[in-house]
Amino acid sequence: MTWREIVKVARQGAKLHLCDSTWARIDNARAIVDHIVAQGERAYGISTGLGALSDVMLQGPQLAQLSRNTLLSHACGVGAPLTVEQTRAIMCAAVNNYAHGHSGISRSVVEALIALLNLDITPSVPSQGSVGYLTHMAHIGVALLGFGEVMWQGRPMLAMQALREVGMAPLELRAKDGLSLVNGTPCMTGLACLGLADAFNLAEWADIIGVMSFEALRGQIDAFDEVVLALKPHPGIQRVGANLRALLAGSEVIASSRGIRTQDAMSIRSIPQIHGACRDQLIHAERQINAELASATDNPLVMGTPENYRVLSQSNPHGESLAMAADLLCIAVAELAGVAERRLDRLINPLVSGLPAFLVSQPGVNSGMMIAQYVAASLVGENRHLAQPAVVDNFVTSALQEDHLSLGTGAALKLLKVIDNTTQVLAIEYLLAAQAFEFLKEQRFGVGTGSAWRLLREQVPPYDEDRWLAPDIESAARLVRKEPQLDSLRSGSLSR
């Protein structure tokens, strides 16, 4: 699967099915595990304890008991639960991992996970407690045993009750099932898929909203000249430059502003360079995430056939690539918010905007958009803390056995928080840029910027005097969370 398909299952409710050849791979790997059990061979996590207990040999009923105990003992996360779509993304990424056919997990476990996804039964999973894997998947796994709570039909319910109502029996685990459920990188991978989808969406909106601010501040269009930008041939810069020029096409505001200043402030004239650099990091992260989805990330991995096999104890569950990708996405998205806050600050400052103070008539009796900028500054400040890389931190776990950790799940979770913050910052800039347009509307705006202005005005009226502003910000944020109709914006044919 690709990250886009993970998002379709997690967020849009697409049904998940495995083809016959995939089931054959899963069954072949399971047959190898069954052969090892029957022969009484030593193999990590199949016939031994886990982590620092990897030298303890087990046999007979202990093997199934280890799988059950693994889930129960590892399901010790804390904090607020993940959202439904976040848990679904993790579950889908886990199924994707098993589909490679190197896990050795029982077919019944994979069938049960797919059933939960397709029936829209979502285990309640605490958000905190993972250094990369283990706890989140353990909470998903115990729901298959009938423990804990799930969300079903929009309400919380005991897992055992939900299983009964859909005719599913609690799982009976076998050797290695518990370990296969908790290890690997599906937690950080699933969350990163959602983060990547939102980051791409924000990058598109950042271009639209940023160029509205550029137009409202009567920027000098030479900074976006195709010949100029071609001299800095980063792909992201070329993409953003083309977007900005298309959105501004036909703008009388820009045409009449040529030469009013020698050059604009950096936050205004550097939109292609800043947004473009962020886009390039998104493309890099996309490659890393798709490569992880193409990876088998269990430990141990089983290969071959029951007649000729290998069991390989290795470190594919280490999520260094994903952690770095999530950290990089975090930095890129935080930068989109940071430069947006600088632009919106200029919009409300009459010393540089040439517009009424705080974008409201009769400033003084009206505070206008003054405090909205405070809110944006607060969110950008929080983003700066969150953008500190998680991957460079480290701890020692499992009695020195696991002495280097990726912290990729933490990296993905803070990425999602930065995305939420950046959505709000862009929503505030959208409000302010649209309000600035109210003072310039005697001239024609760009074909795309004018369309974006009218789109917001369908939800939020002009700010003629002070009113409760929080609902306006939320209305703008709802638009920013949706994928923009870029082609329609550029052509001015946006459907209403």
Supply the residues annotated as catalytic: 44
**CA–CA gap between residue 229 and residue 270 (Å, rounded):** 11
User: Interior CA angle at 75 toward 72 and 81, to 5°?
Assistant: 145
Summarize the confidence of residues 124-151 as an average pLDDT: 93
| End-of-domain residue from the set 122, 152, 183 | 183
pLDDT of residue 494: 54
Same domain, 114 and 238: no
Summarize the confidence of residues 60-69 as an average pLDDT: 91
Is the bond leading into 126 cis (omega within 30 degrees of zero)?
no
The answer as to whether 94 is a domain residue is: yes
pLDDT of residue 101: 97
Q: What is the pLDDT of residues 79-110, one digit of tens each?
A: 999 999 999 999 999 999 999 999 999 999 99
Q: Which of 93-102, 181-190, 239-248, 485-494 has the lowest mean pLDDT?
A: 485-494
**CA–CA gap between residue 110 and residue 29 (Å, rounded):** 13
pLDDT of residue 306: 94
Give how many domains the chain has, as a whole number.
2
Summarize the confidence of residues 255-268 as an average pLDDT: 95
**CA–CA gap between residue 383 and residue 63 (Å, rounded):** 46
pLDDT of residue 100: 97
Same domain, 54 and 172: yes
**CA–CA gap between residue 372 and residue 224 (Å, rounded):** 29
Asked if 203 and 275 count as a contact pair (C-beta separation under 8 A), the reply is yes
pLDDT of residue 401: 66
Same domain, 260 and 383: yes
Same domain, 131 and 205: no
**439-477 residues labelled b (16+ CB within 10 A) or e (exposed):** ebeeeebbbbbbbbbebbeeebeebeeeeebeebbebbb
pLDDT of residue 398: 66
Chain-wide mean pLDDT for the chain?
94
The answer as to whether 196 is a domain residue is: yes
Same domain, 244 and 392: yes
The answer as to whether 311 is a domain residue is: yes
Nearest Cα neighbor of 437 from 353, 365, 366, 370 is 353
> Does the global pTM surpass 0.85?
yes
The answer as to whether 496 is a domain residue is: no
CATH code, domain carrying 435: 1.20.200.10
The answer as to whether 204 is a domain residue is: yes
Q: What is the pLDDT of residues 160-184, one digit of tens each?
A: 999 999 999 999 999 999 999 998 8
pLDDT of residue 279: 98
Q: How many angstroms separate the Cα of 79 from the Cα of each of 86, 108, 218, 240?
A: 15, 30, 47, 39
Q: State the DSSP H helix or E strand holding residue 158, giving kind and residue range, or none if neither.
A: strand 155-158
Q: What is the pLDDT of residues 269-302, one digit of tens each?
A: 999 999 999 999 999 999 999 999 999 999 999 9
The answer as to whether 11 is a domain residue is: yes
**Is beta strand 149-152 parallel, antiparallel or unpaired with respect to 155-158?**
antiparallel
496: pLDDT confidence band, cut at 50, 70 and 90? very low
| End-of-domain residue from the set 135, 151, 183 | 183
User: Interior CA angle at 125 toward 124 and 129, to 5°?
Assistant: 160
pLDDT of residue 399: 65
Same domain, 151 and 225: no
Same domain, 413 and 477: yes
CATH code, domain carrying 64: 1.10.275.10
- 131 versus 138: the higher-pLDDT residue is 138
Same domain, 256 and 164: no
pLDDT > 90? residue 112: yes
Q: What is the pLDDT of residues 368-404, one digit of tens each?
A: 899 999 999 999 999 999 999 988 887 777 666 676 7
The answer as to whether 38 is a domain residue is: yes
Q: How many angstroms separate the Cα of 346 from the Cα of each of 85, 218, 353?
A: 37, 12, 6
Same domain, 224 and 147: no
| End-of-domain residue from the set 164, 183, 202 | 183
Same domain, 164 and 206: no
As separate numbers, helices (DSSP H) first and strands (DSSP E) second, the chain gives 21, 7
The answer as to whether 418 is a domain residue is: yes
pLDDT of residue 391: 86
pLDDT of residue 262: 93
Same domain, 146 and 238: no
Q: Which domain holds residue 442?
A: 192-491
Asked if 79 and 127 count as a contact pair (C-beta separation under 8 A), the reply is yes
Same domain, 240 and 196: yes
